[in-house]
Amino acid sequence: MPAAVLIGAQWGDEGKGKATDLLGPRLDYVVKFNGGNNAGHTVVVGDEKYALHLLPSGILTPGVTPVIGNGVVVDVEVLFEELEALESRGVDVSRLRVSANAHLITQYHRTLDKVTERFLGKRQIGTTGRGIGPAYADKINRVGLRMQDLFDENILRQKVEGALEQKNHLLVKVYNRRAIAVDEVVDDLLGYVERLRPMVTDTALLLHQALERDETVLFEGGQATMLDVDHGTYPFVTSSNATSGGAVTGSGIAPNRIDRVIAVIKAYTTRVGAGPFPTELFDEWGEFLSEKGHEFGTTTGRRRRTGWYDAPIARYTSRINGVTDFVLTKLDVLTGIERIPVAVAYDVDGQRFDEVPVSQSDFHHATPIYEEFPGWSEDITGAREFSDLPANAQAYVRELEAMSGSRISAIGVGPGRDEIVQLHDLLA
Ligand code: GDP
Ligand code: IMO
Ligand code: MG
């Protein structure tokens, strides 16, 4: 039984939540290993629609143990809000386990996220404002708070004092905001301790033991490859490793444990927030993709920027992550387009680049070199076998596969749980 990593191939919102949900009944554990409540996963089960942020999508599957790994930054207030919302809809959340080493997002991280963005003005990243960057900055700077600190009030108070000493100077003198009191933060956090106690544990050990028992573990990435702090379009990225390597450091499971790497990729491209996006459309086709694909953020409600499929990005994702299988989503959104452009390479100031350029300014200047493929007009949402798809849709998928560096093993044809065409087993 395998350990599989599932990650986003582009700039997020590829449909990772739906893909995790699809695998749900075959999984024993679903582990979130990076990010926090900046993520937004929409999962549609029958007539019910769930929006998950901090919790792994596996929480919707009975029998699965959801795990929040050490690589995640946890806003405990949001954690309980989400748990309570699910419980009120009849979802059993009692199995959730949270790493004792996961870092906390507090009030001062949220405040700093918002004020630094405002300060950046035109250069802002367009973060989700959830405190993600400041919480990871504290982790790397060795002034972060961890889950385990909550269980020792003295340590917690000392750490909050240490962090605020510095941050209050910044808030008051640089950003012209009010200082935050130590008690305010500590009391807030202590209010959650008793409810957290049974959930917080050594999740690396838990997962190691599960794998020793041959149980199936899925590591579900938040964000995506092009938002990865090392491999994405820095500085227009999130502050964690959203690529498959992050599953290792963010969970405490060794790299040689990982059997499969599944990348979820849209049949076109979207991005929320600022930063380069070579295939971005500013015409009526951009509008078409945005409206037909309902491309509005699950977390902030912002309209997503839209563009055509970018094959150099797919190849980049394939090699950075070691992708074994792609799940191609939202193919149904392309129905009705006569000829579908796909970026096969870039032109950078007159020079052809077949791969994603390493230089940030080259990527900023990259204009796509397109090839066009014939579209289809038949409704494909009812397709369940590859042969149910119109010939041109089959050919489009095969063309993408040939230029993307890994096989396409499943195709999304609608938002519903069963709206999928399976070509290969994702876990074998
Ligand atoms: P995630 O962040 O990667 O989990 O993705 P989001 O949930 O933010 O965004 C993906 C959106 O596309 C959700 O609203 C899904 O319900 C929807 N979706 C997923 N797969 C498909 C598909 O194959 N077709 C269509 N039309 N919608 C899909
Ligand atoms: P899922 O998991 C799309 C983007 C933000 C911003 C940048 C940094 O749903 O795919 P942050 O708040 O993380 O510091 O913001 O990253 N971003 C996402 N975009 N999907 C996400 O998550 C994202 N999480 C962060 O819009 O540009
Ligand atoms: Mg999302």
Question: What would the mean pLDDT of 399-410 be, rounded to a whole number?
Answer: 97
135 Cα: distance to centroid of ligand 2 (angstroms): 15
**307 pLDDT band (50/70/90 cuts)?**
very high
Distance in angstroms (rounded) separating the CA atoms of residues 106 and 76:
8
**Residue 299: pLDDT band with limits 50, 70, 90:** confident
Q: Report residue 300's pLDDT band, with 50, 70 and 90 as the boundaries.
A: confident
Residue 98 near residue 201 (C-beta atoms within 8 A): yes
Who wins on pLDDT, 301 or 305?
A: 305
With bands split at pLDDT 50, 70 and 90, how would you rate the model's confidence at 301? confident
Residue 380 in contact with residue 335, Cβ under 8 Å?
A: yes
**Residue 141: exposure state from Cβ atoms within 10 A (0-12, 13-18, ≥19):** exposed
Hey, is 339 helix, strand or coil? strand
Which residue reads 């960057």 in tokens?
133
Q: Which residue positions form the known binding site for Mg(2+)?
A: 13, 40
Q: Where would I find the H helices in 74-232?
A: 76-88, 107-120, 132-140, 153-169, 182-190, 193-196, 203-212
Cis peptide before 62 (omega within 30 of 0): no
Q: What is the whole-number distance in angstroms between the Cα of residue 42 and the centre of ligand 3?
A: 7
Structure tokens at 134: 């400041």
Structure confidence at residue 310 (pLDDT): 98
- Decide if pLDDT at 166 tops 80: yes
What confidence tens digit (pLDDT) does each residue in 184-219 have?
999 999 999 999 999 999 999 999 999 999 999 999
222 lines ligand 2 (CB under 6 A): yes
42 Cα–ligand 1 center, Å:
6
- Round the average pLDDT of the chain to a whole number and report it: 96
**Reported confidence tier of residue 1, pLDDT bands at 50, 70, 90:** low
CA 6/CA 55 separation, integer angstroms:
15
Mutate to test the pocket of ligand 1, among 329, 409, 417 (most ligand atoms within 8 A of CB): 329
The answer to whether the 3-98+201-261 and 265-422 domains have the same CATH topology is no
CATH top-level class of 3-98+201-261: alpha beta
Class of domain 265-422: alpha beta
250-267 pLDDT, tens digit per residue, is 999 999 999 999 999 999
Question: 141: which 2 tokens?
Answer: 């700077």
Residue 284 banded pLDDT, cuts 50, 70, 90: very high
Query: Looking at the predicted structure, is the pLDDT value of residue 384 above 90?
Result: yes
- The CATH topology of domain 103-194 is Adenylosuccinate Synthetase, subunit A; domain 2 (1.10.300)
Per-position DSSP letters for 42-93, written without gaps between them: EEEETTEEEEESSS-GGGGSTT-EEEE-TTBEE-HHHHHHHHHHHHHTT---
Question: Residue 405: pLDDT above 70?
Answer: yes
- Nearest residue (CA) to ligand 2, atom 25: 38
Domain map (residue ranges) of the chain: 3-98+201-261, 103-194, 265-422
**Separation between Cα atoms, residue 322 and residue 300, nearest integer Å:** 31
CB of 42 within 6 A of ligand 1: the answer is yes
- Mean pLDDT for 35-60 is 94
Q: What is the pLDDT of residues 62-84, one digit of tens each?
A: 999 999 999 999 999 999 999 99
pLDDT at res. 298: 80
pLDDT, tens digit, 9 for 90 and up, residues 123-159? 999 999 999 999 999 999 999 999 999 999 999 999 9
Distance separating alpha carbons of residues 314 and 325, to the nearest angstrom? 12
Mean pLDDT of 388-394: 98
Q: What is the model's pLDDT at position 157?
A: 98
DSSP at 296:
B
Residue 428 has pLDDT above 70, yes or no: yes
* Ligand 1 contact, 298 CB (< 6 A): yes
Q: Is 17 in the pocket of ligand 1 (CB under 6 A)?
A: yes
What's the pLDDT tens digit per position in 336-375?
Answer: 999 999 999 999 999 999 999 999 999 999 999 999 999 9
pLDDT over 90 percentage in the chain: 96
> Residue 388's pLDDT band (boundaries 50, 70, 90)?
very high
The answer, yes or no, to whether residue 306 has pLDDT greater than 90, is yes
